[in-house]
Structure 1
Amino acid sequence: MVFPFYSKSCFFSFSVSVVLAIVPDPKNVRVTSVNMGAVLEWDVSHQAPGNLTYTAEYSSDTAFKAVCQNQTEQRCDFTTVISPYGIYVFQVRAELQEETSQWVKTSEFIPDSNTLIGAPTVRLVSKNGSLEMDIREPVLRVSSLKEVYSRVSYNIKYWREGYEDQVTMMSDIQQTRVGLSRLEPWTRYCVQVQVFIKTFQKRGEFSEVTCETTTTNGRMEPWKIGVVLVVSFVAVSVTFPLLFLLTCYSYKGLKFLFPTAKLPEHFRQYLIEPSSHSNIFMAMQNIPQMDEQYHEVSVISEWMEGPLEEGGPLYSHSERLQGREEEAGKEMEEDEEKYSNTVTHVD
């Protein structure tokens, strides 16, 4: 504020101006709106003091209502108090203790017309020589896209990777599942999609670049089929004989390592209890060889008449034979006793 002061003396006049400090107005006041949000933002001049606070209000008819008061942040979010179909005006002022700046107002803000639609989400799948796109609409902060707009469509552009200057456009597509056909097999293609609101001629942000490689369409040329059949026949002709030989040799090897013949029972007993048999064998080896005992036997073919008389020739010969037999029996008993004693000592 400037106050003039005048003085006259000797045809001389002068004036004094007194300048009082004022609070600077917010600069560059604007509304940022993405997906039906509404955020009021502003800037401050470099000459403004650093301890300013701000108050922001909105109006949908004639009266203004405060949403942000005495805050230092240079933004205010009005998303929760607006409707997609309303018409709003926002204003903000700076404050320094008891002094305030002038209110700075925005132009009319219409959410469904002025908001920026974000990018959709795109999923790309390769199938039978073509590419299938699954498009999901962006999520709005207020309501949903199809509830706010009666007609929602998409603009699609795609190109072969490395050939960005050769873009193919598909406009005003209302389906959310779209197929791209007539593509070259085993080639990588990239796509981008944006929302298009025809009522307001509004175009949203493009999605991120999504790329995928195509495959064949499932058809095979006749000469390729012939090559596959020949290779398969050769592989089968070589593989089956090799498997047969391998099976035969494996069976023979197993028969050799694990024979099925069984040992006789006395061999098994001998192998199970080798200690007792070895002791008997050693005892038999240690027994000295005995001389064979034999006696003369005289055969008398002469028969004499009459009874045998004591002291006669036949009688006397019989007595001798009997005596010899008794001696031989005694010697055999002695030999058996000696053999049993030897075996007992070895055990």
Structure 2
Amino acid sequence: MTFTFLSKNCFLLVLCTTAAVVATVPEPKNVRATSINFGMVLEWEAPRDAPGNLTYSVEFWSYSSGFIPWCSNIHETRCDFSKNLSVFGVHKFRVRAELQEETSPWVETPEFSIDKHTQIGAPTVKLISKEGDIEVEIQDPDMRNQELRNVYSRVSYNIRYWKEDEADKFSMLNDQLQNRVVLLQLEPWTRYCVQAQVYILYSEKRGEFSKAVCETSTTDGKVKPWVTALVMLGSMVVVMGTVMVIFFAALYGYKAIKFLYPSVKLPEHFKQYLIEPPHSYIFLAMQNSPQPEEQCHEVFIVSEATESSATKEGTPL
């Protein structure tokens, strides 16, 4: 009887000692399961004042096999399950700290469904300005495990847009099923900015909004009749003016050519006279000939009054 009592006491002592040893390794803090674009990562924080050689082990739970080891003896404070974990179903995770042969208690997460809890990133948005409208082209975000439309049967987009300097006065287009949407009734020659997010109707899940992309609208391409008439009239004036300029340029050019290169030929002795230098023999003969003798004649000036008096007196002039 005494032996049995001692054995029980020793057993209780061993259990208390083991518990005290286990409790010497502090457990990880702030353990959380996060999923972005169907990726699955378990993250945690190292306990306060943890030694530098502390390691961790991580396990995940399935209905068929219970907890399964995944990351063992790692120094990082995260474990990635993205490539090997189904996006469907319910998952649980747990992690513990290890120091040589000693371990901390397991820290377990609540149940987690990737398709339900994952955060969807921002799509890619491209704008095309065309005939007064702006076409929005949306591309789904890149997913880490499954394609977005393979998981959700109905994927749509919420789109908001605004004038570049009026971000607080935006307009919304909700639950757009097409990845190409045209923004109508825009002001011409105005810069608009656009953002889009993925929207899952059945779970009311909204993804992250994309970065704002801006583009300038143009006119609708429809020309008013008076503008057409004005353009045609201006074109006619330009054509007629061009024709007149060409005509007068050709006319005066022709006259100039005729003047420089006349069709009538000069006699040969005229050409020879024009070609000879100024000191020709004719000019020299004129210079060497004696000057002609000047001849002078007396001139009398008779006024009308003198002529009248002479006539009365009978005196001849």
TM over 0.5: yes
1:30 aligns with 2:32: yes
Residue 299 (structure 2) aligns with: none
For each residue in 1:265-286, what CA deviation from the matched residue of structure 2 results, as whole angstroms up to 9, or x when unmatched? xxxxxxxxxxxxxxxxxxxxxx
Match of 1:153 in 2: 156
- 2:39 counterpart SS class: coil
CA distance in 2, matches of 1:134, 1:254: 66
Q: What residue identity is the alignment partner of 1:119?
A: A
1:46 and 2:48 aligned: yes
1:248 CA displacement: 7.4
Q: Does 1:119 align with 2:122?
A: yes
Residues of 1 paired with 2:191 and 2:22: CA distance? 69
Match of 1:315 in 2: none
After superposition, residues 134-149 of structure 1 pair within 5 angstroms as 134-149=137-152
From 193, 197, 204, the counterpart of 2:200: 197
Q: CA deviation at 1:239?
A: 2.2
Q: Which runs of 5+ in 1 are unaligned?
A: 1-17, 256-347
Residue of structure 1 aligned with 2:184, choices 167, 176, 181: 181
Hey, what does 1:307 align to over in structure 2? none
Q: In the TM superposition, what whole-angstrom CA distance separates every residue of 1:103-147 from its partner, at most 9, and x where no partner exists?
A: 111111101100011111111101110111111111211121111
Spell out the pairing of 1:192-231 with structure 2 (5 A cutoff): 192-231=195-234
Cα separation, partners in 2 of 1:111 and 1:251, compared to 1, 3 Å? farther
Identity %: 53
2:74, 2:174 → 1: CA distance?
Answer: 46
Alpha-carbon distance change, 150 to 19 in structure 1, aligned in 2, over 3 angstroms: closer
Unaligned segments of structure 2, at least 5 residues: 1-19, 259-317
Q: After TM superposition, give the deviation of residue 219 of structure 1 in Å.
A: 1.7
Work out the number of aligned pairs and report it: 240
> Bigger radius of gyration, 1 or 2?
1
TM-superposed CA distance for 1:241, in Å, is: 3.2
Q: Tell me the equivalent position of 2:59.
A: 57
More off after superposition, 200-209 vs 236-245: 236-245
Query: What is the Cα deviation at residue 232 of structure 1?
Result: 1.8
Check the 8 A contact 1:60/1:86 in 2, yes or no.
Answer: no
Matches within 5 A, 1:1-347: 22-61=24-63, 63-244=66-247
Task: State the one-letter code of the partner of 2:48.
Answer: H
Aligned partner of residue 127 in structure 2, secondary structure? strand
Shift in Å, 1:238: 2.1
How far apart are 1:51 and its partner, in Å? 1.4
User: What letter corresponds to residue 87 of structure 2 in structure 1?
Assistant: P
- 1:215-245 Cα offsets, whole Å, 9 max, x none, are 0001223333333223222222222333455
1:245–1:75 Cα change, 3 Å = farther
> What is aligned with 1:316?
none
Higher normalized contact order (CA 8 Å, seq sep 6+, divided by chain length) = 2
Contact 2:22 2:105 in 1 (8 A): no
SS of structure 2 residue aligned to 1:79 = coil
- Name the CA distance, whole Å, in 1 between partners of 2:253 and 2:93: 91
Contact 1:129–1:217 (Cα < 8 Å) also in 2: yes
- 8 Å CA contact 2:98, 2:104 repeated in 1: yes
| Paired residues of 2:96 and 2:106 also in contact (CA < 8 A) | yes
CA distances 1:173-232 after superposition (whole Å, capped 9, x unpaired): 111111110110001111111001011110001111011111000122333333322322
State the Cα distance separating 1:78 from its structure 2 match.
Answer: 0.5
- Counterpart CA distance in 1 for 2:148 and 2:257 is 75
Residue identity in the other structure for 1:190: C
Quote the offset at 1:252 in angstroms.
Answer: 9.8
